[in-house]
Structure 1
């Protein structure tokens, strides 16, 4: 981990918003990553050639806000060509877990460390920034990322183009129910969207150098404008987030074999027992995830037959 005595602020935000809203509510941020050498199309194309294929997901950008995950239109190009031809490919792409590259890991950690220091902490761990991961998004003009939620906290930084990021309160169960939250986290991230939700949205209109903080499980959808787009999600999981995620996954597994479950937090004593058992099992199978073939099998078992839809022949 970077332990430099001073880190120039890469991400900045209104200090009142940072003190008042973090980590419970979204707010606008600004950053200095636009034009960074690691975040240009040629370097992203190189990264697409280096990453394991199952860490690259892409499809047509012409999808509905409430997209049926079983009917996602594909793009007949290889990942590198998608990046190189993004202006005309009509595609949406995410390169996952970019921290697997040491250069990108340093970028992510230095960026978050600047936020940690702005909040008065000396390290990422002191600030609660654990399990740091990065996700790079490359989208063609007029593309849509469907309505969904994510299982981590996120500083979303916009690098190139124009983007509209529309986000909703995760405490409003009339928008997303407890069952839908679990299904989005454990089966497929897409959620059902209704236009009646629109008045309750907060929209961030993003250009290069802009961004927003996206709290854990806040549902959102995104669209690009008339130019191609590059963005990056700088994410982390606190201990509490990891606990909740593990409970959601174990609840989903139990529900799948016919045992209804209460959402995390409703039965604290039972939650602790379930968590201990689940973590014992997942620790035992973790070494299997080193194999891409085994990752495909595990995703199919956990997430269903469409879990590997973005892999050719999966």
Structure 2
């Protein structure tokens, strides 16, 4: 059966502006079995694997994340009792996983009336596979891309917070620099704005660009995958937010995107020149300093 995401029950007229639940047929895909993920972890460069203790807070300080003294392959192998959280980053670089991601998004693009993912403007397609022990938490954060998050094994609770008015995370906090962590400060009252997706194998959700969220697993180990992409507008906004962060660090706080469109255009154009200067920092930390579900 072709790999696909079922959106037949959804009104997609607001896509990609708001989150929604999905169903998918990836839960039995052999590429996402625990045994195959052990093999994948063994084949990946160490800097493409991030892991730490799963016993962290929703508002965890990134400077004090508890680590675990275990090889990443052993973490995956012993995930049932390791009390850990682990992500295999950029799995699309493995041809089999790259083909899987493209197939999923090609089929979704056709549901939207496009010929394929490229025609729909889905570029920079990447995959992140998360393997988590029971009762593990991913802290409150946001991501610089759109994301189909699919649950493959176990139970996961995905809390997506409505921040369209900037009342939860400010425009300044949404900016990102190459050495900045992407976690946000969290308050329990944010839950009044939350949509919580309770997901088992075969469930999933669409997480729109920069919607803050936090995640926890249930009573058994979890396997999940984020299928991410960037549209032209998302790439433009990321460049703008990057420039804003650099200017703010230089003592020049900037208006939120969209407040001064002409100035936004100048800053996006300047990004190419700035990129050459900041590329060494990006290699050290990356725009995702760092990711987790």
Is contact 2:135-2:218 (8 Å) kept?
Answer: yes
CA deviation vs aligned residue, 1:51-103 (integer Å, no higher than 9, x gap): 22222111111011111111100011111111111111100111111111111
Residue 219 of structure 1: aligned partner: 212
Q: Output the CA distance in 1 between the equivalents of 2:25 and 2:173.
A: 36
2:199 to 197, 201, 206: 206
Residue 133 of structure 1: aligned partner: 126
Residue 257 of structure 1: aligned partner: 250
Deviation at 1:120, TM superposition (A): 1.3
Deviation at 1:46, TM superposition (A): 1.7
Is contact 1:186-1:248 (8 Å) kept?
Answer: no
Deviation at 1:185, TM superposition (A): 8.8
Secondary structure of 2:123's aligned partner: coil
1:236 to 229, 249, 254: 229
Aligned length: 292
Residue 240 of structure 2: aligned partner: 247
Query: Which range is displaced more, 99-108 or 173-182?
Result: 173-182
Deviation at 1:28, TM superposition (A): 0.7
Q: Output the CA distance in 2 between the equivalents of 1:150 and 1:280.
A: 24
Q: Output the CA distance in 2 between the equivalents of 1:262 and 1:50.
A: 44
Is 1:180 aligned to 2:173, yes or no? Answer: yes
Q: Output the CA distance in 1 between the equivalents of 2:119 and 2:18.
A: 21
Q: What's the TM-score once normalised by structure 2's chain length?
A: 0.92
Query: Which range is displaced more, 46-55 or 158-167?
Result: 46-55
Is 1:295 aligned to 2:283, yes or no? Answer: yes
Deviation at 1:8, TM superposition (A): 4.2
| Bigger share in helix | 1
Cα pair distance change 1:128/1:18, threshold 3 Å: farther
1:276 to 250, 269, 276: 269
Q: Output the CA distance in 2 between the equivalents of 1:177 and 1:79.
A: 35
Deviation at 1:256, TM superposition (A): 1.4
Unaligned stretches of 5+ residues in structure 1: 1-6, 309-314
Q: What's the TM-score once normalised by structure 1's chain length?
A: 0.86
Q: Output the CA distance in 2 between the equivalents of 1:106 and 1:18.
A: 28
The Cα RMSD (Å) is 2.5
Deviation at 1:105, TM superposition (A): 0.5
Runs of 4 or more off by more than 3 Å in structure 1?
183-186, 283-286
Cα pair distance change 1:284/1:146, threshold 3 Å: closer
Cα pair distance change 1:184/1:201, threshold 3 Å: farther
Residue 20 of structure 1: aligned partner: 13
CA deviation vs aligned residue, 1:177-212 (integer Å, no higher than 9, x gap): 112212599711211111111122111110000000
CA deviation vs aligned residue, 1:286-311 (integer Å, no higher than 9, x gap): 6x79xxxx822xx28x89xxx58xxx
2:65 to 56, 67, 72: 72
Is contact 1:152-1:216 (8 Å) kept?
Answer: yes
